Structure 1
Amino acid sequence: MSQSNASTAVTPPAVILVRPQLAENIGMCARAMMNFGLSEMRLVSPRDGWPKKGARQASSGASAVLDNARLFETTEEAIADLNYVFATTARERGQMKDVFAADEGAVKMQVLAGEGARSGILFGPERMGLSNDDVALADAIISFPVSPAFTSINLAQAVLLVGYEWWKLVSGGKAPIAPTRSSPPATREHMLAFFDYLERELDAVSFFYPPEKREVMVRNFRNIWHRLAMTEQDVQTLRGAVASLVGGRQGTRIKRD
Structure 2
Amino acid sequence: MVENIGMTARAMLNFGLTQLRLVRPRDAWPLSDWLRERLYAAASKADDVLEHVTVFDNVKDAIADMNYVLGTCPRHHDVMKRTYTPKAIMPHVRERMGNKQKVAILFGPERNGLVNEEIALTNDMVAIPTNPDFYSLNLAQAVLVMAYEWYQSSNTVAEMTFHMGKSTPASKDDYHAFLSRLEQLLDERGFYTSEEIRPTMRDNMYNAMQRAELTDQELRTWQGILSALVKPKKA
TM-score by length of 1: 0.56
Aligned-partner SS, 1:55: helix
Query: Could you tell me whether the CA contact under 8 Å between 1:88 and 1:142 is conserved in 2?
Result: yes
Aligned to 2:80: 96
For 1:158 and 1:66, the matched residues in 2 are separated by 18
For 2:4 and 2:110, the matched residues in 1 are separated by 9
Matched, 1:31 2:31: no
Percent of matched pairs sharing the same residue: 43
Aligned-partner SS, 1:77: helix
For 1:171 and 1:32, the matched residues in 2 are separated by 20
TM superposition shift of 1:93: 3.5
Q: Given the superposition, is the C-alpha separation of residues 91 and 166 from structure 1 closer, same or farther in structure 2, using an over 3 Å criterion?
A: closer
For 1:171 and 1:99, the matched residues in 2 are separated by 23
Q: 1:41 aligns with which of 15, 20, 23?
A: 20
Deviations 1:184-217 (A, max 9, x none): xxxxxxxxxxxxxxxxxxxxxxxxxxxxxxxxxx
Q: 1:155 aligns with which of 139, 147, 153?
A: 139
Aligned to 1:58: 42
TM superposition shift of 1:92: 3.5
TM superposition shift of 1:156: 0.2
Query: Could you tell me whether the CA contact under 8 Å between 1:100 and 1:142 is conserved in 2?
Result: yes
Instruction: Give the aligned residue type for 1:115.
Output: N
For 1:70 and 1:171, the matched residues in 2 are separated by 30
Instruction: Give the aligned residue type for 2:132.
Output: P
Q: Given the superposition, is the C-alpha separation of residues 163 and 31 from structure 1 closer, same or farther in structure 2, using an over 3 Å criterion?
A: same
Aligned to 1:248: none
Deviations 1:60-97 (A, max 9, x none): 00011010011110000000000000111115332221
Q: 1:74 aligns with which of 55, 58, 62?
A: 58
TM superposition shift of 1:171: 5.7
Q: 1:139 aligns with which of 123, 128, 148?
A: 123
Matched, 1:124 2:103: no
Query: Could you tell me whether the CA contact under 8 Å between 2:70 and 2:126 is conserved in 1?
Result: yes
Instruction: Give the aligned residue type for 1:73.
Output: D
TM superposition shift of 1:55: 1.4
Higher-Rg member (1/2): 1
TM superposition shift of 1:37: 0.7
Query: Could you tell me whether the CA contact under 8 Å between 2:9 and 2:49 is conserved in 1?
Result: yes
Query: Could you tell me whether the CA contact under 8 Å between 2:21 and 2:55 is conserved in 1?
Result: yes
Query: Could you tell me whether the CA contact under 8 Å between 2:75 and 2:128 is conserved in 1?
Result: no
For 1:71 and 1:62, the matched residues in 2 are separated by 18
Structure 2: gaps spanning 5 or more residues: 157-235
For 1:126 and 1:117, the matched residues in 2 are separated by 28
Matched, 1:115 2:99: yes
Q: Given the superposition, is the C-alpha separation of residues 51 and 87 from structure 1 closer, same or farther in structure 2, using an over 3 Å criterion?
A: same
TM superposition shift of 1:59: 0.2
TM superposition shift of 1:124: 1.1
For 1:49 and 1:126, the matched residues in 2 are separated by 18
For 2:112 and 2:79, the matched residues in 1 are separated by 18
Aligned to 2:203: none
Query: Could you tell me whether the CA contact under 8 Å between 1:93 and 1:132 is conserved in 2?
Result: no
For 1:138 and 1:124, the matched residues in 2 are separated by 12
Structure 1: gaps spanning 5 or more residues: 1-21, 173-257
TM superposition shift of 1:137: 1.0
For 1:98 and 1:127, the matched residues in 2 are separated by 23
